[in-house]
Amino acid sequence: MSTSVPGRYFDGQSATPHIVRVEFTRLGVRIDASDGRILSRWGLTDIRVLEDPDEGRPAVYTLDSDPQTRLQVEDIAFHRNLIQYAPLSAPGRARLSLSLPALAGWAAAAAVVIAVVAWTFPKLSGPVAHIIPDGWRQDIGAKVVDMMGSGRKDCRQAEGLAALDALTQRLQAVSPEPDEPLRVRVFSGGPVNAFAAPGGEVVIFEDLITRADDPDEVAGVLAHEIGHAVHRHPTEGVVNAIGLSLLVQFMFGGLQSDAITGAAAQMYTSGYGRDAEREADQTGAEMLRRAGISPRGMVTFFERIRDSYGDSDSMINRYLGSHPSLTERIDSLSEQAEMTGRPALGDVEWEALRGICNPDPANESEG
pLDDT confidence tier of residue 89, bands split at 50, 70 and 90: low
pLDDT computed for residue 367 by the predictor? 47
| Beta-strand pair 201-205/194-197 | antiparallel
pLDDT at 254: 53
Q: What angle do CA 313, 317, 319 make, to 5 degrees?
A: 120
Cβ(182)–Cβ(168) below 8 Å:
yes
- pLDDT reading at 311 higher than 90: no
Q: What does the DSSP 8-state code read for residue 47?
A: E
Whole-number Å distance between alpha carbons of 321 and 37 = 48
Between 279 and 364, residue with greater pLDDT: 279
Whether this prediction's pTM lies above 0.85 is answered by no
166-206: per-residue pLDDT in tens?
A: 999 999 999 998 888 899 999 999 888 899 988 899 999 99
Q: Which residues contact 34 (CB under 8 A, 6 or more apart)?
A: 19, 20, 21
The reported pLDDT for the residue numbered 100 is 46
